[in-house]
Amino acid sequence: MKERITITLDDELINQIDRRIDGTVIKNRSQQIERLLTKALGADIPGKAVLLVGGKGTRLRPLTYKLPKALLDVQGKTLVEHLLDLFKKYGIRDIILCVGHMRDKIKEYLGDGSKFGVNINYIEEENPLGTAGPLKLAKKYLNSSFIASNGDELKDINIPRMFRLHKRKNALATIALTSVSDPTQYGVARLDGTRILEFIEKPKLKEAPSNLINAGFYILEPEVIDLIPDGFSMLEKDVFPQLAKKGRLRGFLFHGQWFDIGNLERYEKAKKKWEGINPYEEGHEE
């Protein structure tokens, strides 16, 4: 809910505000003032992020026989460190790691996160719980908007812009979408504007509704956790279809880097082409 207020500003300050109105993303003074205040108060990003790193990485064997997927090396850093770099870039330092397979090695390497500039809490899966189940275990930590991310992809996403879309559209869940040349190996989004109507799983090329796929990065509201069934469950199958029917599922198309580390071939490609997270570049996707 928004409330109208009246403020008095210096002429030069008003000129500075007007110069930032582009007519598309920012359409008027009120939007720009709200944007500046939101950023100044630290309300333009979710406060916490959940990283799902409990998988066995079976398609990456033999590399994952003795090492969890999260600790695989990409250009001198572990995979999980690159994801932490993304969160730190936008000031998100409270991280919840959902661990399962080889959890002790991950916990030993990352500890409480202090040597990496973050604060880490752990949720331990005794048995695999999918992409949704761990969030239910982490419920006590998640009392406001939060990020959930797969731990087996490298991505560079403008989180504040994604969060603004999420809030502007009153979404319960917003999914980062990336475009691929061949969507037949992924879940492909069918959209109406930014509203996600459904995902078509591994469609034939001619039948794909778009070339936009789930990038494994979500902004969620705490209410979503109440929709998660007990035990093993998947956001993609058990939760998102419910939200789509309610019109509360949105998609955020980004144009930053994205690499899936799901198998050996993709891992080798990521090692060669990943450019890292630039802590100073804001990006241009909207």
- Cite the active site residues: 202
Q: Is 160 left (phi over 0), alpha (psi -120 to 50) or beta?
A: alpha
List, in order, residues 6 or more apart from 257 with CB less than 8 Å away.
154, 155, 156, 274, 275
List, in order, residues 6 or more apart from 142 with CB less than 8 Å away.
48, 50, 96, 135, 222, 225
| Residue of 121, 137, 108 lying closest to 48 (CA atoms) | 121
Burial of residue 280 (number of CB atoms within 10 Å: 0-12, 13-18, 19+): exposed
How far apart, in whole angstroms, are the C-alpha atoms of residue 49 and residue 96? Answer: 6
Tell how far CA 106 is from the center of its chain: 21
Phi and psi at residue 123, in whole multiples of 5°?
Answer: -115, 125
Please name the residue that has the structure tokens 């690499």: 259
Tokens of 174: 């917003």
How far apart, in whole angstroms, are the C-alpha atoms of residue 131 and residue 38? Answer: 30
CA atoms within 13 A on the CB side of 172: 18
